[in-house]
Amino acid sequence: MSERRIGVYVCHCGTNISKTVDVEDVAKYSQGLDGVVVSKDYKYMCSQPGQELIQKDIKEHGLDGVVVAACSPRMHEPTFQRAARNAGLNPYLVEMVNIREQCSWVTDDRALATAKAKRLTSSGIAKARLNRALETDFTAITPRALVVGGGIAGIEAALKIAASGYEVVLVEKEGTIGGQMAKFDKTFPTLDCSACILTPKMVEVVQHPKIELMTYSEVQRVDGYVGSFEVTIEKKPRDVDLNLCTGCGDCTEKCPASVLSEFDEGLSMRKSISTAFAQAIPNAPVLDRESCWYYTGKAKCQVCARVCQANAITFDNEPEIVKEQFGVIVVATGFDILRPEEGNQWGYGKYPDVFNGLQFERMSNASGPTDGLLVTSQGKEPEAVAVLHCIGSRDENYREYCSRTCCMASLKFAHLVKEKTNAEVYEFYIDMRSFGKGYEEFYNRIQEEGINFIRGKGAEVTKKGEKLVVRGEDQQLGVIREVPVDMVILNTALQAREDAAKIAETFSLQQGQDGWFMELHAKLAPGKTAVEGVFLAGTCQGPRDIPDTVAHAGGAAADALRLMAAGQQEMSPVSAYVVEEYCTGCKVCISLCPYDAISFDEDGKVAVITTALCKGCGACVASCPTNAMHLRHFEDEQILAQIEGVFAG
């Protein structure tokens, strides 16, 4: 017989649990189990009265263990741990049993669900009988933040953190900050120009005394843990000395080598030594070695260095590797757009007048390749333009999700076409999703501009004579429409960057099925990740528009600031420890640890854990041949008891 005094609390969760599970019966059953001194059911355990019920029992019955059979521990474990702590019970003496997500919600049969709930509760009680009080440690937080990615999300996060008085290093892999937003022409729904709202922020970044900007740089490696990350950053050789360069542009002008401009989405040529756009920050070019005549061996050239009056250009520089210490990290690495592959049904890549959304932005942009003129590949103003929504989004063959930006962007495109040309505009859409503030009003406004809305996805683009023909089902009329146009704009899906997997590995992040980085909780912690001290800002976590990106980045900054302001972080006590009297000195554990948290004491001949490095996975515990390695809260005896508990009934 156990000497523990355990209270069992079975939650109805309104009817979420009680509809399928006979909660009274589970409570009654638990009452008879070893160590249980009190067992109750209640409508909402997580509510204030529910928590008070538990707290009262802890005091009245002198409980040294609490089992809450309710929702997933991922949902409310912290709630009940807090309640226990406030009632004087160590939070690690609380055991949660998941009878909602993993029982009542997945079972129809009441008898089977109730039987399962009893098994799970019995298992949880068995664990509670062996749970031990655990004390939490604190780790100091270095008051310095790393922000990775210089798009609007990274800029916003960096500025917010810096404005609060903390040092920030902003790392951007391109030669300039600005990200995708720098390519846009106007922004919906207000139609203010993107550059007008972005570039002042870019300038603020470079001028901010608390922000150190590292462009043309990439994070190679992250060591350490929350509060003390050691980050290895590679500064790629730009061959242009930022301290000397005046941004005069002479080198660009004289450079003989040209390639397609990535910034202009291939719609223009750029020089081998160039800045991406006029307002680039820092205002200094990057020498692209892939196309440079000197580096490719095409010629000795070096004309750029010769014309540079500031002597800012040198050749054959080595990458510079720096190691920096940070307390927190904000990942804001952004998105890419889907570019339909060869042979796609929309003629993308085949017909020169089929554009993606970013290409349209560049074309429409006054500083873009056509100086803002909308013209076909023949240089003529189009008579008709089709805008296709949901290309690759909401499509099982590409991306299942909605990209959340395209409806509004498409309306914006329609408006810009109308503003700049006399063309007819046809919008092919599945549903019009105008969910944001001012979006429905924007939709209404655009509707009044004489746009042809065709409810149905643009299924195919073919060429007939001089015209492109967009084919699609008009669901409102119930007919197949074939619309001849001169220009087609595909609003393609936002997707995770090609290098997202590599970034995930570097920062130990998880990716969802669709490649976006996983947040800790979809609703309650959208900016946190499973790695403590690493936060997500903007579209690297999922598709979102500018207002949402800025809000998300602000949230990530707040998460980062919270840690730095507190100066310390509570560490989970779920970590491994060595029972020295059992350790045989075999060294099996040492190379198993993915975090190098285990070292060997050659004098005592025993393994030693650096608790701050241990993340509590338990791999060493499972492989320790002598049971010398233990994991707090997941002890062998606890897990074995849980197994027994399943079969106790």
User: Which residues inside 434-473 make contact with other proteins, applying CB under 8 A?
Assistant: none
- Which two tokens mark 431? 């549903």
The DSSP string of 217-268 is EEEEEEEEETTEEEEEEEE---SB-TTT-----HHHHH---EEE-TTTTTSS
Three-class DSSP category at 523: coil
Stretch that binds other proteins, among 28-36, 142-150, 284-292, 580-588 (CB under 8 A): 580-588
Cβ count near 109 (within 10 Å): 10
- The one among 574, 577, 610, 613 contacting other proteins by CB under 8 A: 574
Contacts of 487 (CB under 8 A, 6+ apart): 353, 354, 355, 374, 376, 382, 384, 385, 386, 423, 468
> Does 524 engage in binding with other proteins (CB under 8 A)?
no
Can you tell me the distance from the alpha carbon of 638 to that of 646, in angstroms, rounded to the nearest whole number? 13
> Least distance (Å) from other proteins to the CB of residue 530?
6
Whichever of 1 and 522 has its CB closer to other proteins, that residue is 522
> Does 642 engage in binding with other proteins (CB under 8 A)?
yes
Whichever of 568 and 627 has its CB closer to other proteins, that residue is 627
Backbone Cα Rg of the chain: 30
Tokens 């007048």 locate to 353
Whichever of 102 and 232 has its CB closer to other proteins, that residue is 102
Structure-derived torsion over alpha carbons of residues 354, 358, 363, 366, reported in degrees to the nearest 10? 170
Is 578 within 8 Å of 607 (Cβ atoms)? Answer: yes
- Which two tokens mark 44? 């909402």
> Least distance (Å) from other proteins to the CB of residue 38?
25
- The one among 582, 608, 610, 613 contacting other proteins by CB under 8 A: 582
User: Which residues inside 33-92 make contact with other proteins, applying CB under 8 A?
Assistant: 72-74
> Least distance (Å) from other proteins to the CB of residue 599?
13
Stretch that binds other proteins, among 133-141, 324-332, 491-499, 616-624 (CB under 8 A): 616-624
Contacts of 496 (CB under 8 A, 6+ apart): 335, 336, 511, 514, 515, 516, 517, 540
Whichever of 397 and 513 has its CB closer to other proteins, that residue is 513
Number of residues that bind other proteins (CB under 8 A): 66
> Does 636 engage in binding with other proteins (CB under 8 A)?
yes
N- to C-terminal Cα distance for the chain? 16
User: Which residues inside 245-274 make contact with other proteins, applying CB under 8 A?
Assistant: none
> Does 577 engage in binding with other proteins (CB under 8 A)?
no
User: What sign does the CA torsion over 43, 47, 51, 57 have?
Assistant: negative
Contacts of 344 (CB under 8 A, 6+ apart): none
- The one among 15, 510, 568, 599 contacting other proteins by CB under 8 A: 510
Can you tell me the distance from the alpha carbon of 139 to that of 569, in angstroms, rounded to the nearest whole number? 5
> Does 525 engage in binding with other proteins (CB under 8 A)?
no
> Least distance (Å) from other proteins to the CB of residue 581?
7
Q: Which amino acid is at 466?
A: E
User: Which residues inside 530-549 make contact with other proteins, applying CB under 8 A?
Assistant: 530
Element containing residue 79 per DSSP (H, E):
helix 73-86
Can you tell me the distance from the alpha carbon of 77 to that of 63, in angstroms, rounded to the nearest whole number? 18
> Least distance (Å) from other proteins to the CB of residue 611?
15
Beta strand pairing status for 137-140 and 598-601? Answer: unpaired
Question: In DSSP terms, which residues pair with 462 in a beta bridge?
Answer: 469
User: What sign does the CA torsion over 435, 436, 442, 444 have?
Assistant: positive
Site string for other proteins, 274-303 (x = CB under 8 A): ------------------------------
User: Which residues inside 2-21 make contact with other proteins, applying CB under 8 A?
Assistant: none
> Least distance (Å) from other proteins to the CB of residue 608?
15
Stretch that binds other proteins, among 346-354, 444-452, 484-492, 504-512 (CB under 8 A): 504-512
Can you tell me the distance from the alpha carbon of 488 to that of 249, in angstroms, rounded to the nearest whole number? 35
> Least distance (Å) from other proteins to the CB of residue 598?
12
Question: In DSSP terms, which residues pair with 313 in a beta bridge?
Answer: 240
> Least distance (Å) from other proteins to the CB of residue 514?
8
Site string for other proteins, 481-500 (x = CB under 8 A): --------------------
> Least distance (Å) from other proteins to the CB of residue 120?
6
The three-point CA angle 297-301-307 to 5° equals 150
Can you tell me the distance from the alpha carbon of 150 to that of 538, in angstroms, rounded to the nearest whole number? 11
Can you tell me the distance from the alpha carbon of 485 to that of 428, in angstroms, rounded to the nearest whole number? 13
- The one among 269, 477, 566, 640 contacting other proteins by CB under 8 A: 640
Stretch that binds other proteins, among 156-164, 452-460, 485-493, 505-513 (CB under 8 A): 505-513
Element containing residue 36 per DSSP (H, E):
strand 36-42
User: Which residues inside 592-611 make contact with other proteins, applying CB under 8 A?
Assistant: 592, 594, 605
- The one among 3, 290, 316, 581 contacting other proteins by CB under 8 A: 581
> Least distance (Å) from other proteins to the CB of residue 222?
12
Site string for other proteins, 94-113 (x = CB under 8 A): ----x-xxxx-xxxxx--xx
- Which two tokens mark 328? 């927190």
Positions that interact with other proteins (CB under 8 A): 72-74, 98, 100-103, 105-109, 112-113, 115-116, 119-120, 123, 501, 505, 508, 510-513, 518, 530, 574, 581-588, 590-592, 594, 605, 615-619, 621-628, 631, 634, 636, 639-640, 642-644, 646-647
